[in-house]
Structure 1
Amino acid sequence: MGTLAGLTAVAALLLPTAASGQPPADTGVPQDTNLVANGGFDVGDRVGHPTGWSVEGAEAAANVVNLSAYRTAGPGSLELNVTSGNPVTVTSDRMVAAPGAAYTLTARVKGRSGTPAQLSMVFTDFNRTDLGTNAADTAFSTDWQTVTITGTAPAGSAQVTVRIAGGEAGWSYWEQVSLAQAPAAYDPRLGTDRELFLDDYRIESSRDVGRVVHPAKTRPEPLIRPTYPWETSTYIYGSVFKVGKVYRMWYDCNNDVAPGYYLCYAESRDGVKWTKPLGRGTIGYKDIPASRTNLVIAGGGTVAYNPDAPADRRYALMQFHTGVVNETLGYYAYFSPDGYTWTLAASKPVLLDGDVSNVAWDPAGQQYIATVKKRMFTSRTPGVYDRAAFVSTSKDFLTWSTPVLGVAGDYADDGAAQAINGLEGQIYGMPVLPYEGTYIGIPWVLLITNFTHGSQSSAGDGPVLPQLAASRDLVDWSRPVRDPVIQPGKPGAWDDGALYTASNVLVDDRTITMYYGAFNAGHGGQVAGTTPYTSGVGLATWRRDGFVSMTNASLPGLGDPGQLTTKPLVTDGRALHVNADVHAKGSLTVEVLHASGNLLPGYTSLPVKGDQYDAQVRFPGGRSLQALAGQQIKLRFSLVNTDLYAYRVG
């Protein structure tokens, strides 16, 4: 397939092909919550500027150095040697800021002569407008001192940066820069929802366990592929619902009639074998009438299904239209009683910007959720926009909250792109899945390799990989692991390039199902003279709760058994259940602790064995949690050769 295929193949080879993990904190050791990359200034680029930071002004004044008298930890520190009239500013990469969240910035500084530089943290909005700067002047001292700044992200914040600015003549050294977000308020009440391990919200400590992503099981062939004249390609940004006994899919196709892409309809009785019924919609193709196509609306979009909405609004669609920036360019709302015929709900966009959106109905929150792509000019490439996922909510699909930046490409994403000789990582889109009392995001991470290969090269070429994010409130998002949750196919497969997903999942007692769209090339499209650009819609499945597990791979007498302890929990006293796969020679036991951490007598469980989707944890003498209802307790899981996916009380 030429150069593009080679890059895609490299991505498939370098990124993990099996589950890999990231361990949370060891017992008694706080997890590193520093948001700043290279905060110790231990590595610099070829000219000595700190990696992960930008330098403006008198660039020669800022350098990473290795001087034993001017560092406290690690091999390096930042030297700022500012001369009169030659100011310099060193700025960190931009980090996502959650509006209303409190942040603490600390740094170590040591003076050599003159006036030390000033430390500050700066909150900016979508347009990079400064919303607030929290700064601290540093008194000169030849001893190391710690500078601390606190601040709260104002409403409208999108990002936060750290700045070290020298405006007056002075020679100073900087080390151990750390920016930490205050943890969200913790609620110990544990309802009946399953608790997954997508974040650290309920984890107090752990030892010798790691958070592991389990890629979906996929099929070697797509379920939907181009078969009609109006389908040059088929893929899915759309949605799939089971309504009654029928699986209903809204997928995308490209063709040569403006606007060039359309929403198509398919249905199935088993979710595997699909038909494309004709004549349901009102859209034809050239001389083919609507009665002989499965086109339902011109343009793409994603569908939300709310069975309790008024009959004529049961199905809601969000679609991007081009137009005048900040006026008519944006996302438009449509309603339909049946998913075939659509009515424009408003003459102006309900949300501005564009182009990819994902929508969902959240039954528990009784709200619609939209994630929309907004383009910030914060990319590493001059003049190129930085794609990111912003989150908004609505009660009626017409009036939406101000979008808040949820997930943006960061230092780790850039590193993944650079690992395949690329440039940077961006977020192409992100469905949000309401799941068991939390929200799971599926960010589509575009690893930009170049802007020269493929028919769409100007928009950036490279693989698109679905990953995981999690939030408890739709504002503050966590991404503790970055392995693809759906792996691209092996080189040459139909899905070895760019992967996208439906906006929702289907869940039963044992399985999570998600449909995904894939291409045999990266985002840049087909390279001239190579294998034709093909695409399809595939099927991805996981075990129930199975995106991520807390894993220990020891064996009896070989390796180290693992432990994980929760923060305090308050339950209603019903039975404790676990979703776990206890492998050969493995074991899983649970101890119930007092909130102080002391073991409660009689509350060491019998071992859980085998592959269990919803095993009840049993205690000696028939004890249950009933006697502990309303009290604060902790759970300590002991794992040997086990994948622990979730637990619940119910």
Structure 2
Amino acid sequence: MRQVFTLIAMFIAVICWATFSSPQSGGEILKPPGEVVDIGGRLELLVDEFLIDSMKGEVRLKLHRPERKEIVFRTDAPWEGNASAYQSIFQDGDIYRMYYRGMHYRDHPHESGPAAKALPPHAHYLCYAESDDGIHWRRPKLGLYDFNGSKENNIVLHPDTRGNNCSPPQTAVFRDDNPDCPPGERIKIIGQGDLRGNGLYMMKSGDGVRFSPLSPDPIVTKGAFDSQNIAFWDPTLRAYREYHRITLPSGIRGVATATSEDLLRFPSPVPVKILGARPDDDFYTNAVKPYFRAPHTLVGFPARYIEREWAEPLLALPGLEERLARSRSHPRYGTALTEALFMSSRDGVTFKRWREAFIRPGPRTRNNWVYGDHFVFWGIVETRSHLKDAPNELSLYATEGYWEGVSTDIRRYTLRMDGFVSASASAEGGEFVTRPFVFQGGNLTINFESSAAAGIRVELQAADGKPIEGYTLDDCPEIFGDSIRHTVRWKRGGDVRSLKGRPVRLRFALRDADLYAFQFVPFQPDPVRPPRPTTGK
């Protein structure tokens, strides 16, 4: 009997090893609970419960919504139109690059309203714009393709590039950060080969505007590709990842992924597992990418697709005339709504997805609450804050006014650095303790904000949960303020070098405060403070 139990235990151990060290997952990232994690000196976002061992009191993980900013671009050139989607954005040196679809929707014969006076239908193009700050954009005159007898436009892909290359409507553009990537191939396009969906193809460019096929063969052939399908170099995995749309056995839209060290040869894809998703959840896009400040963490902004009924709330939305006109082509064109969600992953296959909307459709205007709105661009960029002396912030971009009028609006949204999710505590307070980990560095920094009357205290513990002398909560003055990189200092100072490489835990006690991220960084001596002022009676 003992031998039977031994064999069963060995079998379970093998299964657990396979689960937590799958090549697709990147190895140590999915270590079982209780096992010591090596976080080195990397920035750790609190976007999931991976590093959290326990919570008590009034503290929880909270999703933060970005702040709605200005319209930064309109696709109102004659070769663009009201159906621009599947945009890509990234910073390349001092230049921000944006790639977007030039397309105008006027598909149904009974169209009425403002769109009836819109641009005539035209072929689909991939267009390019650039910026010095991520806010003010320009269309360079590239002179590559003819439109109505002129090459003074910003078109980088034309319908003539179909076939074994990429079809302009469903594309994604990225900078290949593989250190072995040749300079002449550093900007790449992944896209559908043609509108029949015969696979995903790759194109290359050295300057980001003149593209040619990387290979005549598709890199992926299994899937439904009428979406923004993406690929990128994952510096943590040291391999390429690709994500594309699939149709699940239930008939709803899903996402599949594969990894490969060779960009042109991907194995059979596997469906992405979305924690928290309902069986009937449809996802159009995924917008997955390594977060540039913590590349071991992948973040994504899938578009949630919902079909509503022709009931009073839908009929009360703006733009009813155009909504009814679109529905004559297909009912869902009038009843479908889209909005942006947030999800994250540490292995690229299993994602924690928040059920709450990350970007809601917003105030009811002519340009929102329609199918195709709030598709978040693939890519997050760092931009300057409009507040004097404030730190830089994250900028995200999303569509508005899809299929409405003559153009698509592109709105910018901002978020504090690392500010997707926080451990958030009420005024009553709460605390959480991390799982054991080892680190490299000499100081602990935190990204946090608090009220003036409350704050955060931090304790370092041994792996068994016992407070380490000199680093207890009582040794830590309450930290208040708002900083994306505040050094934690106890009464003895901020030097934690003596604990480097030793399994430890962190205990955070919060009151009316939010903690977004923490990081162990190279040692810096404590600053010399002026003498504290004395107070008289």
Q: If the TM-score is normalised by the length of the shorter chain, which range does it land in? A: 0.7 to 0.9
Question: Which residue identity lines up with residue 439 of structure 1 in the other structure?
Answer: L
Q: Which residue of 1 aligns with 2:132?
A: 269
Matched, 1:292 2:165: no
Contact 2:79–2:125, Cα closer than 8 Å, also in 1 = no
Contact 1:506–1:513, Cα closer than 8 Å, also in 2 = yes
Aligned residue for 1:351, secondary structure, equals coil
Q: Which residue of 2 aligns with 1:315?
A: 187
Change (3 A) 1:366 1:564: same
Identity %: 25
Q: Which residue of 2 aligns with 1:177?
A: none
Which structure 2 residues correspond to residues 528-607 of structure 1 after superposition, within 5 A?
532=405, 535-554=408-427, 560-604=428-472, 605-607=476-478
Partners of 1:283 and 1:409 in 2: how far apart? Answer: 45
Contact 1:428–1:445, Cα closer than 8 Å, also in 2 = yes
Matched, 1:338 2:207: yes
From the two aligned structures, give the one with the greater strand fraction: 1
Q: Which residue of 1 aligns with 2:268?
A: 402
Aligned residue for 1:224, secondary structure, equals strand
Partners of 2:132 and 2:442 in 1: how far apart? Answer: 37
Q: Which residue of 2 aligns with 1:197?
A: 46
Partners of 1:569 and 1:315 in 2: how far apart? Answer: 37
Aligned with 1:506 (options 381, 403, 406): 381
Contact 1:410–1:425, Cα closer than 8 Å, also in 2 = no
Contact 1:368–1:396, Cα closer than 8 Å, also in 2 = yes
Partners of 2:330 and 2:436 in 1: how far apart? Answer: 52
Shift of 1:642: 0.1
Matched, 1:188 2:50: no
Q: Which residue of 2 aligns with 1:469?
A: 343
Change (3 A) 1:330 1:156: farther
Partners of 1:264 and 1:101 in 2: how far apart? Answer: 48
Partners of 1:425 and 1:478 in 2: how far apart? Answer: 14
Q: 568-577 or 484-493, which moves further after superposition?
A: 484-493
Cα deviations by residue, 1:132-154 (Å, 9 ceiling, x for unpaired): xxxxxxxxxxxxxxxxxxx979x
- Segments of structure 2 that go 5 or more residues without pairing to the other structure are 1-13, 25-29, 106-119, 159-167, 311-322, 384-390, 522-537
Aligned with 2:87 (options 206, 220, 238): 238
Question: Which residue identity lines up with residue 635 of structure 1 in the other structure?
Answer: L
Q: Which residue of 1 aligns with 2:297?
A: 438
Question: Which residue identity lines up with residue 255 of structure 2 in the other structure?
Answer: A
Cα deviations by residue, 1:605-635 (Å, 9 ceiling, x for unpaired): 2221101110000011226322222221111
Partners of 2:435 and 2:121 in 1: how far apart? Answer: 56
Shift of 1:223: 1.4
Change (3 A) 1:252 1:450: farther
Change (3 A) 1:617 1:409: closer
Matched, 1:376 2:248: yes
Partners of 1:401 and 1:258 in 2: how far apart? Answer: 39
Question: Which residue identity lines up with residue 191 of structure 2 in the other structure?
Answer: Q
Aligned residue for 1:602, secondary structure, equals coil
Shift of 1:477: 1.8
Aligned with 1:350 (options 216, 219, 223): 219
Give the superposed CA RMSD.
Answer: 3.1
Change (3 A) 1:253 1:409: farther
Aligned residue for 2:72, secondary structure, equals coil
Partners of 1:640 and 1:409 in 2: how far apart? Answer: 29
Aligned residue for 2:511, secondary structure, equals strand
Cα deviations by residue, 1:362-394 (Å, 9 ceiling, x for unpaired): 34444333210011230xxxxxx3111112234
- Segments of structure 1 that go 5 or more residues without pairing to the other structure are 1-99, 104-150, 158-180, 379-384, 415-423, 527-531, 555-559
Corresponding pairs, count: 442
Shift of 1:644: 0.7
Partners of 1:411 and 1:581 in 2: how far apart? Answer: 30
Aligned residue for 1:457, secondary structure, equals coil
Contact 1:267–1:274, Cα closer than 8 Å, also in 2 = yes
Partners of 2:441 and 2:138 in 1: how far apart? Answer: 48
Shift of 1:450: 5.2
Partners of 2:19 and 2:487 in 1: how far apart? Answer: 43
Partners of 1:411 and 1:516 in 2: how far apart? Answer: 22
Aligned residue for 1:292, secondary structure, equals coil
Contact 1:239–1:251, Cα closer than 8 Å, also in 2 = yes
Contact 2:76–2:406, Cα closer than 8 Å, also in 1 = no
Change (3 A) 1:459 1:277: same
Partners of 1:186 and 1:284 in 2: how far apart? Answer: 60
Shift of 1:544: 0.6
Change (3 A) 1:259 1:458: farther
Cα deviations by residue, 1:8-46 (Å, 9 ceiling, x for unpaired): xxxxxxxxxxxxxxxxxxxxxxxxxxxxxxxxxxxxxxx
Cα deviations by residue, 1:210-260 (Å, 9 ceiling, x for unpaired): 1111111122x4211132111222634222222232221111121379984
Aligned with 1:641 (options 506, 512, 523): 512
Partners of 1:397 and 1:459 in 2: how far apart? Answer: 37
Q: 508-517 or 237-246, which moves further after superposition?
A: 508-517
Aligned with 1:515 (options 397, 411, 421): 397
Change (3 A) 1:542 1:334: same
Which structure 2 residues correspond to residues 144-159 of structure 1 after superposition, within 5 A?
none
Q: Which residue of 2 aligns with 1:449?
A: 308
Cα deviations by residue, 1:434-487 (Å, 9 ceiling, x for unpaired): 1212111222111232599635636664222221222111122222x3222223
Question: Which residue identity lines up with residue 434 of structure 1 in the other structure?
Answer: P
Partners of 2:247 and 2:122 in 1: how far apart? Answer: 22
Change (3 A) 1:152 1:575: closer
Aligned residue for 1:627, secondary structure, equals helix
Q: 565-574 or 186-195, which moves further after superposition?
A: 186-195
Contact 1:591–1:599, Cα closer than 8 Å, also in 2 = yes
Cα deviations by residue, 1:537-563 (Å, 9 ceiling, x for unpaired): 221211110011110121xxxxx3110
Question: Which residue identity lines up with residue 59 of structure 2 in the other structure?
Answer: V
Q: Which residue of 1 aligns with 2:501?
A: 630
Shift of 1:597: 1.2
Contact 2:248–2:254, Cα closer than 8 Å, also in 1 = yes
Partners of 1:269 and 1:444 in 2: how far apart? Answer: 28
Contact 2:34–2:435, Cα closer than 8 Å, also in 1 = no
